[in-house]
Amino acid sequence: MKYLTKQCKLILAIIQEFGHMTAEEVYTEAVKQMPKIALGTVYRNLNELAQDGRIRKIRVPDGPDRFDKTLSPHEHIICPVCGKVLDLSVPGLDECLRKAVKTDNFDYALSVNARCSACRAAQ
Ligand SMILES: [Zn+2]
Ligand SMILES: [Zn+2]
């Protein structure tokens, strides 16, 4: 295990507590505990943690990347109204894709746009 700096540990703890956060959201939380932390430090540490496989980077179309504490394969539902990101499990999707793509060697990111329950209720 690589040595983690104090900033890095804090950022990891924040992701593990809240999940699915943008770098800006992580920064807002981090500043409460470490007032001198810079936004650039937050970005750098998030990317390093994602590269090390401690967190997962989720690409969001038309929005900033999110960082996820859940490393196991899963998809996401993104609410177009409030921007909330929810986990989605599609059993058999991986197998289906593998058959369609005809190789094991591929990567994909699926995000479904659908209103979250709170936004549906507010309609
Ligand atoms: Zn919503
Ligand atoms: Zn997730």
- From the CA of 79, the nearest ligand is 1
Given a cut of 60, whether residue 12 has pLDDT beyond it is yes
**H-helix segments, the chain:** 6-18, 23-33, 39-51, 93-101, 117-121
Residue 59, Cβ density class (10 Å: 0-12 exposed, 13-18 middle, ≥19 buried): exposed
d(CA 65, CA 95): 26
Span 23-71, pLDDT tens digits: 999 999 999 999 999 999 999 999 999 999 999 999 887 788 999 999 9
- From the CA of 82, the nearest ligand is 1
Amino acid 2: pLDDT: 66
Two structure tokens written together for 84: 């909330």
* CB-CB contact of 111 with 61 (8 Å): yes
**Nearest residue to 116 (alpha-carbon basis) of 20, 28, 13, 50:** 20
Q: How many residues are present in the chain?
A: 123
**Residues surrounding ion ligand 1 at CB below 5 Å:** 79, 81-82, 84, 116, 119
pTM of the model: 0.82
The CATH number of 75-116 is 3.30.1490.190
8-state DSSP, 113 = E
- Please name the CATH architecture into which domain 6-68 falls: Orthogonal Bundle (1.10)
> Domain segments of the chain: what residues?
6-68, 75-116
